[in-house]
A = this chain, B = another copy of it.
């Protein structure tokens, strides 16, 4: 089974409940706009620029990313709840 996000959307699996992540990031409860760490599961083909060409996506499958907590659509997937967000909502890649 395959699941293909459309446009500039990215499907991510949240990494929750880790006090200290692989990248050394601690996600405190009190941050005013708390970013979430996750892993990219699927990547859309990219949105269009004003002349009709697709803009490249910023991430690829397997990337560890930080993204804003709010926004996106929850996608139930094989017992999990993945999150479908837009590429522009991904703040950074953690390596």
State the A residues within 8 Å of B (CB).
1-7, 9, 11, 23-28, 31-35, 42, 44-45, 48-53, 55, 58-59, 66, 68, 73-79, 81, 84, 87-88, 90-95
Q: Are A94 and B3 in contact (CB under 8 A)?
A: yes
The 6 closest A-B pairs by CB, nearest first: A49-B52, A50-B50, A2-B95, A4-B93, A6-B58, A26-B76
Q: Are B1 and A75 in contact (CB under 8 A)?
A: no
B-chain residues with CB within 8 Å of residue A7 when the two chains form the complex: 58, 88
Q: Are B52 and A23 in contact (CB under 8 A)?
A: no
Chain B's nearest CB lies how many Å from the CB of A36? 11
B-chain residues with CB within 8 Å of residue A11 when the two chains form the complex: 92
Q: Are A91 and B9 in contact (CB under 8 A)?
A: yes
- Bound state CA distance, A88 and B45, in angstroms? 13
